[in-house]
Amino acid sequence: METAALIVVLVIALALFFDFTNGFHDTANAMATPIATGALKPKTAVLLAAVLNLVGAFLSTEVSKTVSHGIIREDTIQGDVFLPMIFAGLIGAITWNMLTWLLGLPSSSSHALFGGLIGATLVGVGGGGIDFGMVLSKIILPALIAPLTAGIIAFAATKLAYSITRRYDGKPDGRDGFRWGQIFTSSLVALAHGTNDAQKTMGVITLALITVGWQNSEQADPYLWVIIACAVTIALGTYLGGWRIIRTLGKGLTEVKPAQGFSAESSTAATILASSAFGFALSTTQVASGSVIGSGLGRRGSTVRWRTAGRIAIGWLLTLPAAGAVGALAALLITWLGLWGIAIDTVLALAVIIGLFLRSRKDAVTSANAMSDVAESGLAIEHPDTTPPTRRQQRIIEAKAEAKARAEAREKAKAKARSDAKAKAAAKAAKKAPKTGVVTQTDNPEKTNSEESK
């Protein structure tokens, strides 16, 4: 029992640290576009995101129930086996999160967590310990559908935003009024992130407590202290560690205009909030990236850089199996060595975390040189230097060109008429010329000579 209690404490500590890494790895994406468009200053944006993540964590527990009562069949696994597997899964998730944080790679903390848990369970228990139907319906399908849905909504919203404001704004790409609206929409995204991502850590801790009998399996909701601990931890991670993930923000998203940012954030928030209500565990990074790409396509003349988009998609696809592989290796050590395997995993995890952190200090990232996972998705859309005209503008241009052509034709006709008038006048003058005396003398030279002789 003392060993189980020690492992539970280790699991809770690791889960909260994962929650912290989730905060600085994902949440800054909520503020990617408002920083890029200048709606919010970086420090103000991240502080606002931290506060709203804290609030959002208290609004829903449906995703927590998906993790604690859905993915893993805890009722079929013995507690002395299952707790170490949760421990190993968390090591896989944290290692992948820290590595991608250091490299600035776009990835999903959510999928890192699920991958680590699934990989560890497969090694320690086997396929029977995983509810693959739940994994497919609550994780895999939402991961495929949600970014696409968010992108379509953002595309339509961007088209609508430009259409509504076109006649009132002389700037082809501006709509600066949307910059103020972004403060609200980005705040909504941060709130939605709290309702989804913080729940995953709550679910892991609840799962561990149920495994050792410290919580009744019939009680799906997490304890209040678990909710508070996870909410505070993800908020701290958001505020303290997000700058490396937001590095070069504005560079990758320089083409994002206020109307696009407003549309993308509205789409992201709506998608995440709806999914949280149904208990779908989404990746904020993927949903926000899909929204940015959709809003970019909503601008006239934009095209997709398929190579960049493909690279982003590969990064998404690698996260779950990569974290799963690390979790499986950690679980393998525990299976072979028992408690010594847990001790070795703990030492290795600490070494990896400390090593990656020290390595990150060599090129420290602050609010002055920060990047976002979402910024990478902004590069997947190519915009022309000059935005092509709308159909209405094209009709106006064609009407002006036609009017100009008619005016030129009238001027040519008038010039031709004046030329013809001059030609007629010259012809008349030529007809009258033979009646003059000079011409008569010239026409009758003999008569003139006889008169002179006389």
Percentage of the chain lying above the pLDDT 70 cut = 76
CA distance 284 to 199: 13
Range 260-275 average pLDDT: 85
Residues sharing a CB contact under 8 Å with residue 61, sequence separation 6 or more, in sequence order = 199, 202, 220, 221, 222, 227
Question: Whole-structure pTM over 0.85, yes or no?
Answer: no
pLDDT for 367: 43
pLDDT tens, position by position, 224-258? 999 999 999 988 888 875 565 555 333 444 456 77
Q: How confident is the model at residue 329 (pLDDT cuts 50, 70, 90)?
A: very high
Q: When comparing pLDDT for 390 and 307, which is higher?
A: 307
Q: What angle do CA 148, 288, 298 make, to 5 degrees?
A: 65
* pLDDT confidence of residue 26: 65
Residue listed under structure tokens 């699920």:
114
Task: Report the pLDDT averaged over residues 275-288.
Answer: 78
pLDDT at 253: 44
pLDDT of the residue at 152: 92
pLDDT grade for 402, boundaries at 50, 70 and 90: confident
Of the two residues 19 and 178, the one the predictor is more confident about is: 19
Mean pLDDT (the chain, rounded): 77
pLDDT-wise least confident of 67-76, 138-147, 358-367, 392-401: 358-367
pLDDT value, residue 448:
47
Whether the CB-CB separation of 156 and 235 falls below 8 Å is answered with no
Which residues, 6+ apart, have CB-to-CB distance to 22 below 8 Å?
Answer: 97, 109, 110, 113, 197, 198, 200, 201, 234, 237
Q: Which of 217-226, 274-283, 343-352 has the highest mean pLDDT?
A: 343-352
pLDDT higher than threshold 90 for residue 70: no
- What's the pLDDT tens digit per position in 376-394? 555 556 656 566 666 666 7
pLDDT value of residue 249? 38
